[in-house]
Structure 1
Amino acid sequence: MTSFSMGVPEGVHDLPPGVALPLESNLVFMNGVSFTKGCYVGQELTARTHHTGVIRKRLFPVQLLGPLPEGGITPGTTVLTESGQAVGKFRAGQGDVGLALLHSEKIKGPLHIRTTESGRVALTASVPDWWPTATK
């Protein structure tokens, strides 16, 4: 089982500097964020967001379905609903699994990534078993 299928980000491809926020990247679930210790860049925003309890986007493991483009899916590609509404961005992947930063309330329906003008790759997002139940 890969870290992608478990929903665990690793390195700068999964957590791009200046883009990835600790709470959206689920680092608090892995004890990667302290709310009692010291100062760090982004600490005020992270603490305020944590204590309000409103995190609209999260990094979800995704399963890609159907034929993939030869070079795979480009990081940053928009993930869309069936009607074409943007739901988030594909972050990283390997083969038919990956991670995508998605709006939490929109992961249930059919999702896809447009690969060409007429091509698309369907994907399903899942909530890992190891996440706290209050966030599922």
Structure 2
Amino acid sequence: MKLYKIRRKVNIAPCLDLSLWAVIPGEQAGDIASSLAKCADQAPVLSPDPRTEVMGWRVITKKGVNLSEIIPGSHVGNIRDYHRHRYKQGIPEGVKDLPPGVALPLESNLAYMNGISFTKGCYIGQELTARTHHVGVIRKRLLPVQFPAPLPTDSIPEGADILTESGKSAGKFRFGGGELGIALLRLANVNEPLYLNIGGDKVKLTASIPEWWPKTTSK
């Protein structure tokens, strides 16, 4: 963050007396918004995740606060639970899912997640991004994928090829955990039988269109 403050008189330092939480919606949890509002004195910052409603809330609390005691029906998970949820929803995050110099904003669904503005600029790649948006043709997108059984992530090379049944290239695997992951796939191949090519071995996977995508722009 210090790289981008340029000459602004801003100090950036870790706040060791605070904790960061991701509050993910669940069937057992009650009204998260009202529960969080009641603990405003213990949570200096609480806001809906700006990417999509299915990612719930971002909350910063004082150290030692246990959110499971504040939100009825909730429980405290771990970082793996968080990553499983976002992979199930097809939400990219970090350099493994969005490799620098490789990931394109529109193919990465950033326009669906409040990550791109088409009314202001400028930014690197703005012209290509704006032109592609207005033409309206995006042939590949990041999609959630699922395997029949958990795979050891370290055995999958970065950018491993995903093939159709006939052996045609359908896209690239990005990253994942267990039986879930995220991949850049051609939309035309989403409903076909797909296979991950790992050292010559074919591992079956299925892809899906996330429910949270805008219904009129899911292609």
- TM-score, normalization by structure 1: 0.92
Between the two proteins, what is the percent identity of the paired residues? Answer: 60
Are the counterparts in 1 of residues 151 and 177 from structure 2 also a CA contact under 8 Å? no
Larger Rg: 2
Q: CA deviation at 1:64?
A: 1.3
Residue equivalent to 2:217: 135
Q: CA deviation at 1:53?
A: 0.3
State the superposition RMSD in angstroms: 1.5
Residue equivalent to 1:4: 87
Q: 2:112 aligns with which of 11, 23, 29?
A: 29
Q: CA deviation at 1:71?
A: 3.1
Are the counterparts in 2 of residues 72 and 95 from structure 1 also a CA contact under 8 Å? no
Whether 1:120 aligns to 2:202 is yes
Q: 2: CA distance between counterparts of 1:92 and 1:18?
A: 16
Residue equivalent to 1:76: 159
Q: CA deviation at 1:90?
A: 0.2
Residue equivalent to 1:13: 96
Q: Which amino acid aligns with 2:207?
A: A
Match of 1:108, SS state, is coil
Q: 1: CA distance between counterparts of 2:90 and 2:152?
A: 22
Residue equivalent to 2:132: 49
Residue equivalent to 1:88: 171
Are the counterparts in 2 of residues 66 and 121 from structure 1 also a CA contact under 8 Å? no
Residue equivalent to 1:63: 146
Q: CA deviation at 1:89?
A: 0.2
Deviation track 1:75-134 (CA, whole Å, cap 9, x = no partner) reads 2000000111110000111111111001101111100012233x3210000000000112
Match of 1:48, SS state, is helix
Q: 2: CA distance between counterparts of 1:12 and 1:116?
A: 23
Q: Which amino acid aligns with 2:211?
A: D
Q: 2: CA distance between counterparts of 1:70 and 1:8?
A: 18
Equivalences, count: 135
Q: 1: CA distance between counterparts of 2:155 and 2:92?
A: 18
Gaps of 5+ in 1: none
Match of 1:34, SS state, is coil
Match of 1:65, SS state, is coil
Structure with greater contact order relative to length (CA < 8 Å, sep ≥ 6): 1
